Amino acid sequence: MALVAAFFMPKEYAVEREVIINQPRDSVFNYVKYLKNQDNFSVWAKTDPNMKKTFTGVDGTVGAVSAWESNDENVGVGEQEIKKIAEGKRIDFELRFKTPFEATEDAYMTTEAISATETKVKWGFNGGMDYPMNLMLPFLQMDKVIGKDLQTGLDNLKVILEK
């Protein structure tokens, strides 16, 4: 019965949060496009202070990769690559988780000028679960779990950029 239900359940999820930062769009974009800067605001980057990080490629450009290794099961092993940049507007990332589970998911950050001195920043994730694991999706509450971390990261970003 559960396998039949899983057939009709969603296989994908999308989570997005936003914040308004009192800085011009160019300043905000030129900060968020660098993978290394995520260490300053991302909740996940701060989860394990002993995590080993490596960076390859030219940070802030397509092809740059930030990799992490941690013995903390909440962090695990994986990497993030900048896949596409629409200068001043959007950065697309590919997240490749290796342990404690294998998955490839898409993430993005957008910057939109609200005024000359205000910028709306959106941070989002898109992911999925294959059948029959998608049966778990409604119970995992991805929007609630990931959304909280995204919002905390954006709030941290706001504090950093408004100093």
What domains can be seen in the chain, in order of their start residue?
Answer: 2-161 (3.30.530.20)
Q: Are strands 52-56 and 103-115 parallel, antiparallel or unpaired?
A: unpaired
Stretch 86-111: mean pLDDT = 93
pLDDT confidence of residue 138? 53
pLDDT confidence of residue 117? 97
CA–CA distance, 35 with 95 (Å, rounded to integer)? 12
pLDDT confidence of residue 135? 47
Predicted confidence band of residue 15 (pLDDT cuts 50, 70, 90):
confident
- Answer yes or no: is pLDDT of 134 > 50: no
